[in-house]
Structure 1
């Protein structure tokens, strides 16, 4: 059930057509409304993801109209292509055909790292995601990993709780310099 929404975004052209029906500001508004919850929105067979937001739905209280205008001005210039490529379309990329960039054999992260996620991030409900984040395999590949879950955080935790995130980053850096 949860993967259908990601598959729609991964399918080249589908999200672009869906987003293209609306002005840039409405697309960004809808994205922040849809992905600030703890449930992954799923469109039915006859819907697209942008159809899931009622126009009267307010923005999350931490995302202002000024934020929306600033983001819209940037996306009006760049479009949504890159935002759809990374990470939604490139994580399935095949390294086997990349003669110039063969798949590395040692993928271990050898520096201190920190993962900060919101407890209410819908990504945690993707099949296997929460198990992987808490697994020994992740710790094996990123041995010096500090994981922080923000209790009220959603997918946009860095925007929702900027002061707390900044404190975490500063503390992390101070601990490792």
Structure 2
């Protein structure tokens, strides 16, 4: 499937940023923003569907991820960089307005872009994480919580460094497709939570794993762990911001994120709509944190319906 896409490198703020793209865009443009440890390839199914529906599908590798350059000073990384990069990518491609789709930590720059540049956004779609001005993960107090572990400089690098890249990606996909939050016991590391005998999820093939591993050969994991887990600055969201663009939240019912204290209530009670008034929420039964790869047909149908309902060419 990887051969179905075109690839371009854009000079963005001094870095070569890689984008994969597909489709002519008669109906508009859709930009897909990945999470961790994902790269552009995690959107392969959605890009094919969007292009077939008449849209131009674009999926960048964030700075420091995949085939994109790593910034010279990782310690100064900021999520604001991703918002500014997105603005520059749209300008470089002469795209005046686009749909923004975000997954995992890609949700944060997606919504910040929609708040900062509402005239550049047709609509926002997020998967796995809703818009929020607070961090639900901070309520998980266990010292073995994966985010707590990965925030420690050098700890995840040492943990990951015991294995080859393919084994690291494989283990993360196994752990984070489960419904329970990955938490290590005392004396145990996150990579120890799944061994080599644990099978990959049925929807993630050996070919997919090989593509991921090849795309991590260049950057490694040092910068991806910095962004998003160790960023010194957060997005400048103040007060009670409103996302005015029409929005869609897709959640897998078995997504471990729903186990973060307060998360499920925040979504199901409608509290999230205080900040995103024009929001549709859809749950996919049995869906995991990787729902767009696990159930691509269902996710594609939801995305394409949303795009067509809010397309500029409608």
TM over 0.5: yes
Q: What is the match of residue 273 of structure 2?
A: 139
RMSD of equivalent CA atoms: 2.0
Kindly indicate whether the alpha-carbon contact (under 8 Å) linking 2:253 and 2:285 is maintained by their aligned counterparts in 1: yes
| Aligned: 1:150 with 2:287 | no
Q: Which runs of 5+ in 2 are unaligned?
A: 1-139
**Cα distance in 2 for residues equivalent to 1:32 and 1:53:** 10
Deviations 1:20-65 (A, max 9, x none): 1211000001001111111112111101000111211110000000
Q: CA deviation at 1:103?
A: 4.6
Q: What is the match of residue 13 of structure 1?
A: 154
Match of 1:122 among 248, 256, 259: 256
Q: CA deviation at 1:108?
A: 1.0
Q: What is the match of residue 173 of structure 1?
A: 307
| Aligned: 1:111 with 2:245 | yes
Deviations 1:54-80 (A, max 9, x none): 211110000000000000000111222
Matches within 5 A, 1:19-38: 19-38=160-179
Q: Which has the higher helix share?
A: 1
Count of residue pairs brought into register by the alignment: 170
| Aligned: 1:68 with 2:209 | yes
Kindly indicate whether the alpha-carbon contact (under 8 Å) linking 1:2 and 1:125 is maintained by their aligned counterparts in 2: no
**Cα distance in 2 for residues equivalent to 1:41 and 1:130:** 18
TM-score by length of 1: 0.87
Higher relative contact order (CA 8 A, sep 6+): 1
TM-score by length of 2: 0.50
